[in-house]
Amino acid sequence: MSTTFKLDTSTSRANPTPQPMKRLTVPKIRAHKADGETKDPLVMLTAYTARQAQLLDAHCDLLLVGDSLGQVIYGLPSTIPVTLDMMANHAAAVVRGSYHSVVVVDMPFGSYEGSKEQAFESASRLLKESGAAAVKLEGGEQMAETVSFLNQRGIPVMGHVGLTPQAVNVLGGYMARGRDGAEAEKIVGDAKALDEAGAFAIVLEGVLEPIAIEATKAVSCPTIGIGASAQCDGQVLVTEDMLGMFERVPRFVKKYENIAEVIEKTVAQYAEEVRARSFPTADQTYQPKKG
């Protein structure tokens, strides 16, 4: 069923018809996995704008305001230059555009690694300014103390291990992780450390499938895979990648559409009609009242 939106000018919110379900909560997401089993895999997609959030919301459990917006929205070469201001602004837009999904916002590089106090300052600012329910941060065992510190102070944390794009300069690229035994063991150990520290879910990105399966079995909270395994407790993709906005996408992306082609065709038609003076027509112009 498609949803329509009517703008309420007093609140600037676009009210959806039909009214979607009540917003999910972090404990409900965490409870998807019980006794090591997840019956309904969690659906997460990235969202960066209010309109995008409106379109995704009813179909998702979680909307991730990912720092991938650095490349996707701002044309930056990596996620490294992304700032807290960017994350807070886009997260606020996504919260305004959604009613149902839990909104999770990425902590950008440099905003949390220095100390747990720095992490609290940055995370609390993100939640206060955006209305999002949780933050995500990259890193395993070394971030466990921070995850526990935030969680105890009212900030739910989603972890992110395996291929961690903010560490691109250390990793040397975006290739799949866990190809040697020691690294595989470390990824599973990182997931366990975050789980014990109280992470409510953990993203497993770009890891060999057996590692994703082992980590999923080893932790009590849900794992959310991206380039990992269908055996994870949920999946996430960058929305623009799965819609086909970009020609080149990582191997783990399934392109469900070719939106770039639709946009190019549509814009070419508009340009042709403008140049031929066949747009606008009587339907799109205002005429003086007769009589």
φ/ψ of residue 156, rounded to 5: -70, 140
Cα–Cα distance, 275 to 291 (Å, whole number): 33
Cα–Cα distance, 245 to 78 (Å, whole number): 18
Of 201, 239, 233, 237, the residue nearest 54 (C-alpha)? 239
In angstroms, give the least distance from the CB of 176 to ligand KIV.
14
List active site positions.
205
In angstroms, give the least distance from the CB of 72 to ligand KIV.
8
Q: How many residues bind ligand KIV (CB under 6 A)?
A: 11
Query: Which of 47, 155, 226, 228 touches ligand KIV by CB under 6 A?
Result: 226
Mode of pairing for the β-strands spanning 42-46 and 201-205: unpaired
In angstroms, give the least distance from the CB of 69 to ligand KIV.
7
Query: Which of 16, 48, 52, 68 touches ligand KIV by CB under 6 A?
Result: 68
In angstroms, give the least distance from the CB of 263 to ligand KIV.
21
Q: Is 46 in the site for ligand KIV (CB under 6 A)?
A: yes
Question: Based on C-alpha coordinates, what's the Rg of the chain?
Answer: 21
Stretch of residues binding ligand KIV (CB under 6 A), selected from 64-72, 111-119, 151-159, 244-252: 64-72
Query: Which of 57, 61, 67, 214 touches ligand KIV by CB under 6 A?
Result: 67
Cα–Cα distance, 108 to 123 (Å, whole number): 10
Indicate left, alpha or beta for 194 from its phi (over 0: left) and psi (-120 to 50: alpha).
alpha
Query: Which of 143, 203, 219, 228 touches ligand KIV by CB under 6 A?
Result: 203
Stretch of residues binding ligand KIV (CB under 6 A), selected from 3-11, 24-32, 66-74, 177-185: 66-74
In angstroms, give the least distance from the CB of 34 to ligand KIV.
24
Cα–Cα distance, 25 to 22 (Å, whole number): 9
Residue whose tokens read 């939640």: 127
Helix (H), strand (E) at residue 273: helix 259-275
Q: Is 238 in the site for ligand KIV (CB under 6 A)?
A: yes
Indicate left, alpha or beta for 6 from its phi (over 0: left) and psi (-120 to 50: alpha).
beta
Three-state secondary-structure class, residue 18? coil
Stretch of residues binding ligand KIV (CB under 6 A), selected from 31-39, 60-68, 259-267, 281-289: 60-68
Q: Is 137 in the site for ligand KIV (CB under 6 A)?
A: no
Q: Which parts of this chain interact with ligand KIV (CB under 6 A)?
A: 46, 64, 66-68, 106, 203, 205, 226, 236, 238
